[in-house]
Structure 1
Amino acid sequence: MTQPDYDPGPQIAYAGSIGLGTPDLEKSLWFFRDLLGMEVVEQVDGVAYLRGYQEHVHHSLVLTQQEEAVVNSYGFRVKRKQDVELFHKQFENQGLRTVDATGRERGRGEALRFLVPGSEHPFEFYYDIERPIAEESLRSKNLSNSSRRRGLGVRRLDHINLQTSAATVNQAEGWLREELGFKRREFARIPQAPDVIMASWLSVTSQVHDIAIGVAAEDRPGQFHHVAFNVENFHDILTAADQIRDLDIAYGAGPGKHGIGQAMYLYIHDPGSGHRIELYSGGYHIYDPDWDALEWKLPELQLGQTWYGDVLDVGPGGSFLSTTPSAGLVP
């Protein structure tokens, strides 16, 4: 029986943006604009707004010139305009402190900022965002592209990987699921402490993960591991790896393929800020409404991390475990 007045409550649509602080804006712009091929939609007062060639909204990446390389925000677009206010009321009822983030980013409307309980990552929720047309010299004849494909061909923001302390990861991961509606798709527990989540891959879309959260090597909250940008196919990952070897860019790991999510990866670092960036292609989608989360255990867990290719250095002191910090509630 239909219930036309049924309201599912506020919901997240997708991971929409990330704000990265960089001590060298020009070098970061060269990396994201000239090498990765992202479009600079707007640049003003030391802040640049960029998007991939298949993103029609104002931006998915905000680069801010500042002394410290911190992540200023993790942006999520909600499904309806009223969901910003509905989430605000939900958080108020929980006693969660929020701040008005309206006007913090250009091209975006009403926005709400808060810290995720447990992990302390600064999330921002919004719905209204402009959809500017690219300047004529960049426009594509393909209507589904916001601009022509350039550079290494970044299409869109794919997902964000967060880390926090072992003492708070269960709380944060549970809160993301219970209060924000993320679904756990794949996960692993710490072998020596099986009651503690080592990493969890979560989504609100059909992707295996729009966000991942795990335990930071530094064992402290608010840590950023990487942001992934989607490219069209595996060949693009190999082309990127080949070209980047000739450039002064910190080469992280890859190319290789994850068992978890089944996508091909290449990890590199923005030379202006040091933030880790993943180029990501492929992966499977989940359409089953009754999907049971997949748990990776030893010894197969290593295959989950690297199905083939460059094995990720996740041992004690491993380079793949390095992170950068996030800003607080009021950046």
Structure 2
Amino acid sequence: MPESAYDPGPQVAYAGSINLGTPDLERSLWFFRDVLGMEVVAQSGGVAYLRGYQELVHHSLVLTQQDEARVNSYGFRVKRKQDVELFHKQFESEGVQSVELAAGDEIGRGEAVRFLVPGSEHPFEFYYDIERPLAEESLRSKLPSNSSRRRGLGVRRLDHINLQTSAGTVNEAENWLRSSLGFRRREFAMLPQAPDVILASWLSVTPQVHDLAIGVSADDEPGRFHHVAFNVENFHDVLRAADEIRDLDIAYGHGPGKHGIGQAMYLYVHDPGSGHRIELYSGGYHIFDPDWAALEWKLPELEFGQTWYGDVLDVGPGGQFLSTSPSAGLTK
């Protein structure tokens, strides 16, 4: 078959953005802009758009002033412009309710399609077109691969998103993400007390171990958000963040430490304006093998998967690390 005749169908390119609702927009802006060093690209009507210093597109983070601290959307960029419409048609054929969003629904972004993941009910938005504005002159870097100068704790980009849902829906959601959206399972664990139910699955469409993770929520509810991870350059940056955040009025989560799963260093903190969990994430390995076989973690080694070294995550009964935030529905 000629190469020009091959069409792989619609595909997801990467995890592109997240829209976090915050009851205190100014406090959240201080955290992401002044502490983490993200650039505010636009702000209008109680909504702010930010990006890391190595993100050339308009934004990866949207902060929305609202009463409830919830996640309004999880954004994924697709590989081609036509993939937005092709995914929309695919969802219609599968009976997945979706709505079209006009260009400009988020500033700087083109038309999109919004839907709820079957089973987990997380609100995803797929888009392709997004502007690439230059930073204001005072923030520009001499490096053309950087959208702005490195500032604050040096957030480079959005790395991955971690979602949770009920034990009764996690298998359906994880399977749909793989079969309908093309995510590949990289590492996973099953519930020890229910070995046919997924405890957690790390999925990607890029060489990363995960662009998206999904697992069982402690409250056994669908549509839960555990954390969003932002990438920093190296392990020293994580240690510096841990040191500096101790001096600030910010809820310190867990870490610094290193995951066995993905093999990256982590530090979990909470946005002081909303309480949403934020991970600062560095390192990890990449997967280039086209025939990669997913790695299963079982007890007792699973504890090394969560924490290879460093601050142990309190994942037992009542552990704060298991707390989550709610997500919006089909409409924001």
* Distance of 2:18 and 2:29 partners within structure 1: 15
Specify the code of the residue in structure 2 equivalent to 1:307. Answer: W
* Distance of 2:255 and 2:128 partners within structure 1: 35
- The TM-score normalised by the length of structure 1 is 0.99
What secondary structure is seen at the aligned counterpart in 2 of 1:248?
A: coil
TM-aligned CA deviation for residue 44 of structure 1:
0.4
1:249-288 alignment runs, 5 A limit: 249-288=250-289
TM-aligned CA deviation for residue 4 of structure 1:
2.1
| Map of 2:206 onto structure 1 | 205
TM-aligned CA deviation for residue 310 of structure 1:
0.2
* Distance of 1:25 and 1:258 partners within structure 2: 31
TM-aligned CA deviation for residue 196 of structure 1:
0.2
| Map of 1:178 onto structure 2 | 179
Identity value in percent: 83
Aligned length: 331
What are the ranges of 5 or more consecutive residues in structure 2 without an aligned counterpart? none
Specify the code of the residue in structure 2 equivalent to 1:237. Answer: V
| Map of 1:108 onto structure 2 | 109
What are the ranges of 5 or more consecutive residues in structure 1 without an aligned counterpart? none
Q: Deviations over 1:180-220 (max 9, x none)?
A: 00000000000000000000000000000000000000101
What secondary structure is seen at the aligned counterpart in 2 of 1:253?
A: coil
Point out the more displaced range, 243-252 or 94-103.
94-103
| Map of 1:86 onto structure 2 | 86
2:107 paired with 1:142: no
2:80 paired with 1:97: no
2:2 paired with 1:6: no
- The TM-score normalised by the length of structure 2 is 0.99
| Map of 2:189 onto structure 1 | 188
* Distance of 1:92 and 1:6 partners within structure 2: 24
| Map of 2:230 onto structure 1 | 229
What secondary structure is seen at the aligned counterpart in 2 of 1:137?
A: helix
Specify the code of the residue in structure 2 equivalent to 1:88. Answer: H
Give the CA RMSD over aligned residues: 0.6
TM-aligned CA deviation for residue 101 of structure 1:
2.0
2:326 paired with 1:325: yes
| Map of 2:130 onto structure 1 | 129
What secondary structure is seen at the aligned counterpart in 1 of 2:253?
A: strand
| Map of 2:20 onto structure 1 | 20
TM-aligned CA deviation for residue 100 of structure 1:
1.3
Q: Deviations over 1:259-315 (max 9, x none)?
A: 000000000000000000000000000000000000000000000000000000000
TM-aligned CA deviation for residue 95 of structure 1:
1.1
* Distance of 1:219 and 1:252 partners within structure 2: 22
Specify the code of the residue in structure 1 equivalent to 2:254. Answer: A
Specify the code of the residue in structure 2 equivalent to 1:124. Answer: E
| Map of 2:302 onto structure 1 | 301
What secondary structure is seen at the aligned counterpart in 2 of 1:80?
A: coil
